[in-house]
A and B are shown apart, each in its own frame.
Chain A
Amino acid sequence: MALNEAAAGTLLRTALYDEHNQLGGRMVPFAGYEMPVQYTGIVEEHHAVRQRAGMFDVSHMGRFEVHGRGAARFLRYISTWDMTRLAPGEGHYSAACRDDGGILDDIYVFCLEPERCLVVVNASNAPKMKQWMQDHIGKWDARFVDRHAATAMIAVQGPEALGRIEGVIGAEFVRSLKPRRCGEAEWRGQTLFASRTGYTGEDGLELVIDAGAGPDLWRALLDVGVQPAGLGARDTLRLEAALLLYGNDMDEETNPWEVGLDWVVTLDDGADFVGRNALAGLKERGVSRELVCVKAVDRGVMRSHCDIFRDAETVGTISSGGYSPTLGISIAMGFVPPELAAEGTELKVDVRGRPLAVRVVPRPFYKRSKPA
């Protein structure tokens, strides 16, 4: 069989690179960084996050701050959701679109202070987004501050995540963070950012700290029993939660209406933002394809780029697919025409020449049970 591990080449390393090596992490190139795909095994790490608590080095994701009186208005101009609604301590997911409505990136914006926001962007889009934000910021009373290389970011996720983090950064601070809220505290003399967000479908926090203190924070989390998890588990977890992955489930040729991101597009505030007119027009015309969740009926694993067909006619493409450790079967997201998007629709997916029977299922595949 072919076992391809691409050569490392000139890749960037996060502040936690030595920690990954020490833990036996298997390093692979990802979005220009050398990142751990797994430590002990993807399935084990996946279950650790679903059942206990796991942590991911997400320092490769871009972190930019916007300072100044016009910070929120600038961020509203470059993103589809009305960021001027954010009060300090609040965050919201959003998209940044081109003039034609194509998605440049999906982003998370946190309001830290009235004149200071943190923007988290995809690693693969960080250089593009930095350039794009800098190109647009001039008109606004706002300043762009690149915090990417200067900080480390750790996502701690799982039903036991909050309880374990309390032992590291303090119960009072952790308990003050409601879902999607954020805040800053001091940890060992450094400013620690925390938000009650994540990309796994579990509860948890995402932490940002000065790069120099990143390894200390990572080790402190290890000491309270948080299990390191790699990019492999991050992908299986986010797929079960039906969370979108830029580059797979959306790109510049995709608009928010096609991928169920209606809830991050604010049109009713009348404010001008990049892509507004195109998005309003696209909404009016309706979509020609929709992203749906499909679940295999038989054995076989759907992967991205597999064709979706019905009655021997190709009707769409899988954008993200894989094996669900929680469900024990293959799951995927893919684009189909709206008339084939209804729950229960039976389709076939071409898995390397063989038809795999699948069914359109509700989104997401996995939803955590709410604590009593």
Chain B
Amino acid sequence: MPSPGDVKYTKEHEWVRVESEVGTVGITDYAQDQLGDIVFVDLPAAGASVSHMQKFGEIESVKAVSELYSPVTGEVVEANPALANSPELVNDSPYGEGWMLRVRLSDPGEIDKLLSADEYDDFIAQGAE
């Protein structure tokens, strides 16, 4: 299934959807499928700063823990409160209810450094890591 076209992607398997200088950040369907059952998501609180391709949190699946990297630089407006009790939303709805952060972008131009849906799909088709 092709990845949604309305978001931009990182090679670390995060996505961001930008609406009026606020980016919503999550992980891709491919990533949630590779991770398997997600049991905890550790996210920064509102007000925290995140930076382009810097670690912003951790995600624990039954199998393993992985670090989360921010596609964008800015200030966290909100972390998805539903994930504290329902981390499985990331498996069930990675581009929807399983979102992780809303970030007020300090450098909207960074978006151009990210992959389009086609580029991301090519990347995973070539055996992403």
Residues of A within 8 A of B (CB): 1-5, 37-38, 41-44, 232, 236, 299-301, 303, 322-323, 325, 352
Contacts and interface: CB of A to CB of B under 8 A. Distances in A.
Interface string B1-42: 000000000001110000000000001000100111101100
A2 B66 contact: yes
Contact of A3 (B34, B60, B62, B69): B34
A3 B129 contact: yes
B129 A4 contact: yes
Given A301-B39, A325-B62, A352-B58, A3 B67 contact: no
Interface in B32-75: 34-37, 39-40, 58-60, 62-69
B82 interface: no
Contacts of B62: 42-43, 232, 236, 322-323, 325
A82 B31 CA distance: 50
Interface residues of B, number: 24
B99 to A, nearest CB: 16
Q: Which 7 A-B pairs have the closest CB atoms?
A: A1-B66, A43-B37, A42-B62, A301-B60, A323-B39, A3-B34, A323-B62
A356 to B, nearest CB: 11
Binding site secondary structure of chain A: loop
A219 B129 CA distance: 34
21 contacts: A1-B12, A1-B13, A1-B14, A1-B59, A1-B68, A3-B34, A3-B66, A3-B128, A4-B129, A5-B129, A37-B63, A38-B36, A41-B36, A44-B37, A232-B36, A300-B40, A300-B60, A301-B40, A301-B60, A325-B62, A352-B58
A303 B69 CA distance: 22
A301 B27 CA distance: 20
Given A41-B36, A323-B60, A301 B66 contact: no
Contacts of A325: 37, 62
Contacts of A38: 36
Given A42-B62, A322-B62, A1 B36 contact: no
Nearest to A303: B65
A303 B66 CA distance: 13
Contacts, number: 58
A343 to B, nearest CB: 25
Interface of B: 12-14, 27, 31, 34-37, 39-40, 58-60, 62-69, 128-129
Contacts of B37: 41-44, 325
B89 to A, nearest CB: 14
Contacts of B13: 1, 3
A318 to B, nearest CB: 13
A1 B27 contact: yes
B129 A301 contact: no
By CB atoms of chain B within 10 A, which of A2, A303, A325 has the most?
A2
Given A3-B31, A299-B40, A42 B63 contact: yes
A46 to B, nearest CB: 8
A149 to B, nearest CB: 29
Interface centre among A3, A303, A323 (most CB of B within 10 A): A3
A2 B12 CA distance: 6
B109 to A, nearest CB: 24
Nearest to B34: A3
B72 to A, nearest CB: 16
Contacts of B60: 300-301, 323
Contact of B63 (A2, A44, A232): A232
B69 A1 contact: yes
